[in-house]
Amino acid sequence: MSAKGNCYDNVVSESFFHTLKTELTHHIVFETRSQAREAIFGFIEIWYNRKRLHSYLDYMSPAQFEEKYVTNRNERLGI
């Protein structure tokens, strides 16, 4: 953690919520909270965490990155 009031503390969460708003909630009008909850859960668990390309992962999805990591590790270990 950095000092109180440091603007970089919230960068990750602000980036996530910006993506959530621009990719999902600005395009849909939810009739109930349960509809919103289901849509947001699906967005996070299916697209954001599994399929979205991450610049930190050399523009691969987490699934692609993990597959590449396991393949490289197995090759190094001779498995």
Residue 54 zone, left/alpha/beta (φ > 0; ψ -120 to 50; rest): beta
Per-residue confidence (pLDDT) for residue 51, from 0 to 100: 86
Q: How far apart are the first and last CA of the chain?
A: 40
22-25: long-range contacts, CB 8 A cutoff, minimum separation 24: 23/47
| CA–CA gap between residue 36 and residue 12 (Å, rounded) | 22
Q: What is the mean pLDDT of each run of 10 residues along the chain (79 residues)?
A: 67 87 89 95 89 88 91 90
Per-residue confidence (pLDDT) for residue 47, from 0 to 100: 87
